[in-house]
Structure 1
């Protein structure tokens, strides 16, 4: 008990130290350019070489370097700019794809601003405390005790993964007269799904020598872009099911159809809808007569996403979302009905295709979905089996493998539903997963395994 509390305290202390130290480092890197560090190194070397000489070339060089650095620092510190920007952003983007947008910048001050740059402040690359404590660097077990205890290399690995997005450079040098407005283009590259917010654009005001720069906040309105999950290439899909004509009383059904062509009349049967009664035929024959229609029905597929984080963590969950998004994209191109099924507090079902809703709604749901600490597989399985007759086939994407997930699959197979099951994990597939005909995807070779299994 005491050992666990002490371990949590040390982890919390290390996390706060690294978190604040990283913030200080970012602050300095944004304002001090590499040339300044090179001059500081040169000045230090000059002091070391000429320390015992009253008058020498190295002493003169040292004074020159220090004077140059001091002048550059004061120049950058005294620069000012009053600017405003308006972003014109696309509605959505995708993980790993460059997002370009237009920016209108205006000089709101009384004086001209020359030789400045515009840049977005990128997403925070620092991990949260849960990630720092639970996610381990690949190969961490092979490090010595000192490195494993202080977890510095783990922190470096987590920061190296990057934040939600990163800026791709900055604008060209700009000059603006008072009241002048110009339009420029910027680009960022998102690394994580969800809504990314643009709220911190800066004007970089360098000194004439380029050693230091002042980062001046700009008046801007916060904006958000929805980033959809990464999509992987898939082999040609054959999930079964074709369009078929079926006779029925009404053009509406649990399986979305098209057509509703009139086939003929027949006698009324118990349970027939009253709106299908042919009143003129009833009046002519004295017996209730109903209209019968022919309907074109389309296959309906389900994509089941495992949102359980227990025993897997956020990395596996994110890969599961990307795999599910890949199947949603592939099925959507076939023009079929699609149900996205996942677990939150209760099971959720989002339907799209054939005029019910846009497939973009499913991608938005996948972009905003969050994992849960422990999923209720029994409740989720009950929902799917109750609607098994409406589904042609079902793609199940599991974020790991355990006894509860195995029992969940047993229940689905017992309903007679056609299943294609994928599970994401580390290393080779467990034997019992192969017995259940699960397609195993190694988390670091997802696309390769999707194309070959």
Structure 2
């Protein structure tokens, strides 16, 4: 009960802290701190003169706040965002700003506003922030560091605010233009471009909601704000490690649907002959010209195909909806998905989210970028059994030439899945993401490799050594 009460008060503390930091400049924060201190020590007006300092600082802050009410500007802006970003890699993009007033606007700061959902109480209880084990008992119980970490992670990105040079007006008379050009402005232009710096903190979509122009009052204490509603989104892809070409000694397997499915990947030509329609034939195979000529339905017959098909299996089953191990597993899966491979190989990404999914990438089908988009948005599965993944994998096992498994644990159900794939004669590469040391029978499971959280890149680089 107490923890739930504290949790809901975190939001109040955060909202107040955010308002103060957005509104007050560094000098304003110093004055505000002095005001509070003077108020505490100046309660007894007979013993101290601190109340006089309190009155002076209060009047100064009130003047600063009132002056901010007269901030009147009108801007338009446009973001030039790239298609993708990557977790942990600094991204630069540009913002075009246009001043629709008749005045030269100086002393402005540009701030980007991102949608920042707050964590639920259930997520708060399950999550463990980095360094949780080293926290003292008070921090572990109250959990404000964990709440702050969750809020920052859910926000998705940090964008540094940028100070703007003087922005010339777009609505201007000829004599005003001459005045501006002689006012230490090197070049006159109606719009201005500024470079912004973004650091992605997590994968998935980063939602921009608006941008705010801030300008301090003449005393430099309190910011006047002008907010421009501008919705945009940027997809952040998972972090990826360098991985060499996956080498699995699998042979070509029979694929139901042949070339029509594989889009020319295989050993034979697609079209074989025409034949009469049989119940169950797909409508897309109907040869309409022959039907019109003969007066009865005729379908095109295709030769079934044999080609190489690999599966990339991602284990999404974990108790923590937000956790380092799961994010590391997604990054490893993304690394394998983007690893170089022959154009004749199809890759199936298999995972379980709200339901079982199988996404196929290869020549003529979805490009690798589509698999990375899927991995960017995948969520941990906290309420379904691991057997859901069993069913999905074994349904496609007969058509697989090889399989890469990225697992979060090495308990019985995971071992059983690996053993089933081995019994089916499918070449395997299995990696297990682990925070602790794992004991694995290397004689029984020589294809299993453990990747410690603190050395994933190093271990992946030596995977084929």
When residues 301 and 144 of structure 1 are mapped into structure 2, their CA distance, relative to the original with a 3 A threshold, is: closer
Alignment of 1:316-395 (within 5 A): 316-332=325-341, 336-395=345-404
Distance between the aligned counterparts of 2:341 and 2:214, measured in 1? 45
Change (3 A) 1:143 1:379: closer
Structure 2: distance between partners of 1:68 and 1:440: 62
In structure 1, distance between residues paired with 2:224 and 2:164: 16
Matched with 2:291 is none
1:106 counterpart residue number: 98
Which residue of structure 2 lines up, in the alignment, with residue 446 of structure 1?
456
Question: Aligned partners of 1:46 and 1:69: how far apart in 2?
Answer: 14
Q: Report the CA distance between 1:418 and its aligned residue.
A: 0.9
1:19-418 superposed matches below 5 A: 19-41=11-33, 68-108=60-100, 113-122=105-114, 124=116, 126-137=118-129, 140=132, 145-159=137-151, 163-177=155-169, 179=171, 180-220=190-230, 222-234=231-243, 237-240=246-249, 257=265, 260=268, 273-275=272-274, 299-310=308-319, 314-332=323-341, 336-418=345-427
Q: 1:204: how far off?
A: 1.0
1:424-439 aligned within 5 A:
424-431=433-440, 436-437=445-446, 438-439=448-449
Matched residue, 1:423: 432
Unaligned runs of 5+ in 1: 1-8, 263-271, 277-291
1:11 is aligned to 3
Asked if 2 retains the 8 angstrom alpha-carbon contact of 1:88 and 1:102, the reply is: yes
> Helix, strand or coil: the match of 1:234?
coil
- Shift of residue 115 of structure 1? 2.6
Query: TM-score normalised to the size of structure 2?
Result: 0.74
The answer to whether the 8 A contact 1:84-1:219 is kept is no
Classify 1:183/1:440 alpha carbon distance in 2 versus 1 (closer, same or farther; 3 Å).
same
Q: Note the C-alpha offset of 1:338.
A: 1.3
Post-superposition offset of 1:333? 7.4
Query: Contact 1:332–1:338 at 8 Å: present in 2 too?
Result: no
Provide closer, same or farther for how the CA distance between residues 433 and 67 of structure 1 changes in structure 2, counting only shifts above 3 A.
Answer: farther
Change in CA separation of 1:41 and 1:225 when aligned onto 2, cut-off 3 Å: closer
Query: Once the 2 structures are TM-superposed, how far is the Cα of residue 137 of structure 1 from its aligned partner?
Result: 4.2
Native 8 Å contact 1:164 1:191 kept in 2: yes
The structural deviation recorded for 1:302 is: 1.4
Q: Kindly provide the CA deviation profile for residues 89-120 of structure 1, in whole angstroms up to 9, marking residues without a partner as x.
A: 22222112223323222334566543322220
Taking the aligned partners of 1:253 and 1:83, their CA distance within structure 2 comes to: 52
Q: Which stretch of the first structure deviates more once superposed, 97-106 or 200-209? A: 97-106
- Aligned partner of residue 371 in structure 1, secondary structure: coil
Q: Give the superposition deviation at 1:151.
A: 2.4
RMSD: 4.2
Residues 233 and 326 of structure 1 are in contact (CA less than 8 Å); yes or no, is this contact kept in structure 2? yes
| Deviates further, 428-437 or 162-171 | 428-437
- 1:142 offset after TM fit, Å? 5.8
SS at match of 1:200: strand
After superposition, the Cα gap between the structure-2 partners of 1:434 and 1:444, relative to the gap in structure 1 and judged at 3 Å, is farther
Moved over 6 A (4+): 43-49, 51-56, 58-64
Tell me, what secondary structure is at the counterpart of 1:78?
coil
Taking the aligned partners of 2:354 and 2:57, their CA distance within structure 1 comes to: 64
Partner-residue secondary structure (3-state), 2:339:
helix
Conservation of the 8 A alpha-carbon contact between 1:251 and 1:259: no
Q: Distance in 2 between matches of 1:102 and 1:305?
A: 36
| Contact in 2 for aligned 1:108/1:178 (Cα 8 Å) | yes
How big is the shift at 1:16? 0.9
Counterpart CA distance in 1 for 2:117 and 2:259 is 53
User: How many aligned positions are there?
Assistant: 415
- TM (normalized to structure 1)? 0.76
The secondary structure found in structure 1 opposite 2:92 is strand
Q: Note if contact 2:65-2:222 (Cα within 8 Å) is conserved in structure 1.
A: yes
Query: Measured at CA, do residues 211 and 445 of structure 1 come closer, stay the same or move farther in structure 2, by a change above 3 Å?
Result: farther
Contact 2:81–2:234 (8 Å) recurs in 1:
yes
In structure 2, do the counterparts of structure 1 residues 333 and 367 end up closer, same or farther at CA, with 3 Å as the change threshold?
farther
Whether the 8 Å CA contact 1:316–1:400 is kept in 2: the answer is: no
Cα contact 2:307–2:345 (8 A) shared by 1: yes
Instruction: Report the Cα offset of residue 323 of structure 1.
Output: 0.7
Shift of 1:13: 1.6
Q: Is the partner of 2:78 in helix, strand or coil?
A: strand
Are the equivalent residues in 2 in contact too, given 1:256–1:337 (CA < 8 A)?
no
